[in-house]
Amino acid sequence: MASGNMAESKTKSSGSKIAGLPARRGALKLLDAVLRRGETIDQAEKSALQGVNGPADRALARAIVGETLRWMPDLDALIDSATKRNLPEDAKPRSVLRLMLAQALRLETPPHAVVATGLELLHGGPRRLAHGVFSSLMKREVALPDVPTLSDAVLTRWEGRTQAVAPGLIHPPEVDLALKDHGETQERALSMGGVTLAPGHIRLPRGTPIDRLSSYDEGAWWVQDLAAQIVPRLLGAGDNRRALDLCAAPGGKTLALAAAGWRVSALDVSEKRLELLRENLGRTGLEAEIIKANALTYTPAKQFDAILLDAPCTATGTARRHPDVLHRVGPRQIGETTELQQSLIYQAFEWMQPGTVLVYAVCSLEQEEGEDQAAWASETFNLEPMPITAEELPAGLEPTPEGWLRTHPGMLPEQGGLDGFFAARWRKR
């Protein structure tokens, strides 16, 4: 009995010395947290990557999981093509094979390194099966399709939008910056080696280390996807008028409103997320009143000329950077968020005076959270539609026939795409 324990201990010790193994163990824990517990990668990272040291290995673990989730239906199809009987969806060998194939086919990890680190994740399990399946697929020189296949559940929800969206999910997004001074756009784009798709916007290559950019401490910009940058611009120039940014943290839209000349009150319930807003305000030198409160119970002490409600949502529009949303969001989550969104719209309307402008926005691709909510608000409240115009949008984007904004990852493909957003705008009569 003692000799058996010693042998097992020796094996574990030997395995722990394999280069890159902690990152793969962390990746398996991350994948499990998303698929079994419905956590986001961000929520699960601290616990799952506890034994992974160094930013490079942590980034590798996230990259492996990200590519696994991005291409999971296609990875599963390959696995099933190499087994006589399909492995259960939640079987550990299937999860390990998903990670192994994602490394080989998406991250271009040499097969021998994939095998050395992958099979160690199946101690006491069917290592021979996993080795056989992976080796068989490598000998067949399999490849993934040009565009990720989306799950049946997502296909059903997104319906006719799917074919347009899927090509935008092939890669993680590039890095978008929002400038404090739109007049510096061309000069800064040139000096930073980026491109611009709109005044006040710069796009840098994927993976650019933000905090190492020489201009980081200047406070002249902040990170914000192009689609998200459009939303606060729908309120126009502030001219020292008052704006309420509901559900404001981490604060990109608050910064944009302050830079546009609004006197901003930024409200959020999360102290941790508000701290990020405070840091960004300090770095950029912009000003805003910060209010920690629950929007559903808050009573404003002043009136506002504009309200920006970037409502909590399923965030399926961020699937390029957060592919976990493709697998953990379903009818229950959508139902919960739509109920909350309607409650927040009720509150916002109660705080509006005649002439107050309301912009409602969500980073979601779900019709229930976007188009359906805008139609409901238009029918329920005494609001005058303020159609969004093409002139307010980056080149290549058009408003919907209703005068709303709808973006998705497949748009602007030649320029690198953008997140999925919905926005609508009204004025209180």
CA-closest candidate to residue 312, choices 346, 273, 363, 359: 363
363 is catalytic: yes
Tell me the Cα Rg of the chain. 24
Query: Tokens 């968020």 belong to which residue?
Result: 337
**Cα–Cα distance, 195 to 175 (Å, whole number):** 11
| Residue 390 DSSP one-character state | G
The catalytic residue among 75, 306, 363, 383 is: 363
Give the DSSP letter of residue 199: T
Smallest CA-to-CA distance from 267 within 310, 221, 207, 225 is with 310
Of how many residues is the chain composed? 429
Q: Which pTM value belongs to this model?
A: 0.93
pLDDT in tens, the chain (429 residues): 333 343 333 334 444 578 899 999 999 999 999 999 999 999 999 999 998 999 999 999 999 999 999 999 999 999 999 999 999 999 999 999 999 999 999 999 999 999 999 999 998 779 999 999 999 999 999 999 999 999 999 999 998 889 999 999 999 999 999 999 999 999 999 999 999 999 999 999 998 988 888 888 999 999 999 999 999 999 999 999 999 999 999 999 999 999 999 999 999 999 999 999 999 999 999 999 999 999 999 999 899 999 999 999 999 999 999 999 999 999 999 999 999 999 999 999 999 999 999 999 999 999 999 999 999 999 999 999 999 999 999 999 999 999 999 999 999 999 999 999 999 999 999
d(CA 180, CA 285): 10
Both ends of the chain: CA-CA distance in Å? 82
